[in-house]
Amino acid sequence: MWDLLIVHFTQRNIQLNEEQIALIRSAFHYRKFRKHQYILQQGDIARYDTFVIKGILKTYLVDEKGQEHIIKFSPEDWWANDLYSFHTEQPTSYTIDCLEDSEVLQITRKELEELIERIPQLHQYYHITYRNSIIAYNRRIASALCNTALERYQEFIARYPQIEQRVSNHLIASYLGITPQSLSRLRKQISQLQKINIG
């Protein structure tokens, strides 16, 4: 069950010996969650950084009207967390729950800091990962504010090429900030454009 995480590191040029792999296995905790079970709830403190090895998680905000606004999907081989809450121990604004029965590996901030001390090459990995997370979040905001619904949908397909068939239209529409009916129209529009390009 730890193999995906080890492969994840090594594919990103993190060279690990057997002792270091054993340290990683001992630092991360394997957990199973049922579909719709919460991993993190709004108002809680994010105690764990979470790596998905099976399933899909969604990270979202809930407004004053009770409407969900999906910020991110996390399928296999992705991380899920509120980094601000994780590193500052302040309550999170986000909720993370499971769209499928899921299996994850989790690590506390203290365990992560100790692991990085013992495996220094992980410092560069997490530096790049956190930087990329900030960049992705900023691009997500810019896209939501400035891009058309069609552009946002095309970005969604590019970012999540493997999960569209696993996530409901309602949730995809929430991620895009549109109605399910608008999503259906977008798909027809893209299909027509593809037919024109083929012709």
pLDDT, tens digit, 9 for 90 and up, residues 50-107: 999 999 999 999 998 989 999 999 999 999 999 999 999 999 999 999 999 999 999 9
Q: What is the pTM of this model?
A: 0.92
Question: Over 60: is that where the pLDDT of 196 sits?
Answer: yes
- Of 61, 83, 62, 57, nearest to 71 by C-alpha is 61
Between vectors from CA 50 to CA 49 and to CA 51, what angle results, nearest 5°?
Answer: 130
| Annotation: CATH topology of 3-146 | Jelly Rolls (2.60.120)
Report domain extents, the chain. Answer: 3-146, 148-199
Are 176 and 75 in contact by the 8 Å Cβ rule? The answer is no
189 pLDDT tier (thresholds 50, 70, 90)? confident
pLDDT value at position 1?
A: 73
Count the neighbouring beta carbons within 10 Å of the beta carbon of residue 106.
18
Sign, CA dihedral 175-178-179-185, equals negative
Question: 139 CB contacts (<8 Å, ≥6 apart)?
Answer: none
Residue 199, pLDDT > 70, answer: no
Helix (H) or strand (E) holding 120: none
Using the predicted structure, report yes or no on whether residue 142 has a pLDDT greater than 90. yes
Mean pLDDT, the chain, integer: 93
- 147-184 b/e (C-beta count within 10 Å ≥ 16 → b): eebeebbeebeeebeebeeebeeebbbbbbebeeeebe
φ and ψ at 120, to 5 degrees? Answer: -55, -30
Query: Residue 96: is it exposed, middle or buried by C-beta count within 10 angstroms (0-12/13-18/19+)?
Result: buried
